[in-house]
């Protein structure tokens, strides 16, 4: 017996409005209205202006720091549960705090696990997210997690460039699995084998890179660096400089999440990078950096929502 799809509504927090509207455009539905009331001391509350009783509620909000964005999402989840929503699904294009995914030294927190617990305690029944910093974060949840891959839209962009001597680069050893998956995706699109190189970096402290070495040959190649996020852009710019010194013809980067903190825009503008392309998982003012381009992840998120509502598999949407 085929289950009947229930009604659903999509809402957005202050960090998810633009992508949420694009998601709704693909779903051909209206974006629900939510009001965030703020008090003078910094406290705020969330209230839905539309009824959610008996409906599946999709709440779109990236949780990158500051922590207000996470707190907004938690309050919206709680409000939806108390308003008798049938299901509450947190759509988190960028899952913040994910770099704290393990106890790698004494007396530190595991922030990703803490955030997973908070979402579940607030009342989330399911999570949709894009390119977690580490795949194993899915195991921090005791509810379903639909983990989408930004490579499915970023690879289409790279393929459209028609680079004749394309080579994929991982900015560090830990990202090699992601780079391999990206190369395979391009192979599927172009029916051509795409070679790969790996960078080795020595990082003495957070957001600092002292040395980068390339494992492989980039001479006269069009290099595309693949990563999950660009934060301060120090690693990307240093890798681009090293590759140009090694004879690379062009160097560009495609990343899933553009945090672009600190001096990232200035560093990219002054770097050897041709361009940096990331998804719209986090809002970004394009006027800040002429070398930045964005592609939208809204369509695969919308397709995932549709598949959930129709009780269908998302495997064909989310090929890796």
Question: Which uninterrupted H or E stretch holds 75?
Answer: helix 68-82
Rounded to the nearest 10 degrees, the angle between the axes of helix 176-190 and helix 151-160 is 50
Long-range contacts of the stretch 184-189 (C-beta < 8 A, 24+): 184/320, 185/151, 185/152, 185/155, 185/319, 185/320, 186/155, 186/158, 186/159, 188/319, 189/155, 189/156, 189/159
CB 257 within 8 A of CB 274: no
Give the integer Cα–Cα distance in Å for 239 and 270: 13
Q: How wide is the angle at C-alpha 116 spanned by C-alphas 115 and 122, nearest 5°?
A: 85
SS3 state of residue 275: coil
Q: Which residues pair with 166 in a beta bridge?
A: 222
DSSP assignment of 181-228: HHHHHHHHHHSS---EEEEEEE-SBTTB--EEEEES--TT-EEEEEEE
CB 190 within 8 A of CB 161: no
201 given a catalytic annotation: yes
Which residues, in sequence order, are CB contacts of 46 under 8 Å at separation 6+? 13, 34, 35, 36, 37, 72, 75, 76, 79
SS3 state of residue 26: helix
Give the integer Cα–Cα distance in Å for 266 and 41: 34
Question: Which uninterrupted H or E stretch holds 266?
Answer: helix 264-269
Candidate list 87, 113, 185, 201, residue with the active-site label: 201
Give the integer Cα–Cα distance in Å for 105 and 108: 7
- List active site positions: 201
């Amino acid at each position: 017996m085929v289950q009947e799809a229930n009604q659903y509504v999509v809402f957005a927090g202050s960090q998810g409005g633009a992508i949420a509207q694009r998601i709704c455009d693909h779903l051909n539905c209206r974006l629900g209205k939510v009001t965030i009331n703020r008090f003078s001391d910094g406290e705020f509350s969330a209230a839905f202006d539309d009824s959610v009783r008996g409906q599946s509620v999709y709440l779109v909000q990236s949780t990158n720091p500051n922590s207000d964005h996470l707190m907004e999402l938690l309050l919206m989840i709680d409000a939806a549960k108390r308003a008798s929503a049938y299901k509450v699904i947190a759509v988190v294009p960028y899952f913040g705090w994910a770099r704290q995914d393990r106890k790698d030294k004494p007396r530190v927190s595991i922030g990703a696990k803490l955030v997973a617990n908070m979402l579940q305690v607030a009342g989330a029944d399911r999570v949709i997210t894009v390119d977690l910093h580490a795949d194993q974060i899915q195991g921090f949840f005791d509810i379903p997690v639909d983990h989408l891959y930004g490579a499915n839209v970023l690879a289409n962009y790279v393929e459209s460039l028609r680079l004749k001597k394309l080579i994929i680069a991982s900015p560090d050893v830990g990202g090699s699995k992601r780079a391999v998956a990206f190369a395979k995706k391009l192979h599927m699109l172009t029916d051509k084998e795409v070679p790969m190189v790996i960078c080795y970096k020595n990082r003495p402290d957070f957001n600092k890179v002292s040395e980068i070495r390339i494992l492989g040959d980039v001479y006269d190649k069009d290099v595309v660096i693949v990563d999950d996020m660009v934060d301060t852009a120090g690693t990307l710019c240093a890798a681009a400089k090293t590759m140009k010194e090694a004879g690379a013809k062009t160097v560009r980067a495609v990343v899933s999440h553009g945090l672009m903190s600190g001096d990232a825009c200035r560093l990219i503008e002054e770097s050897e990078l041709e361009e940096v392309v990331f998804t719209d998982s986090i809002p970004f003012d394009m006027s800040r950096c002429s070398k930045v381009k964005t592609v939208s992840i809204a369509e695969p998120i919308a397709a995932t929502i549709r598949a959930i509502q129709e009780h269908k598999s998302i495997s064909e949407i989310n090929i890796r």
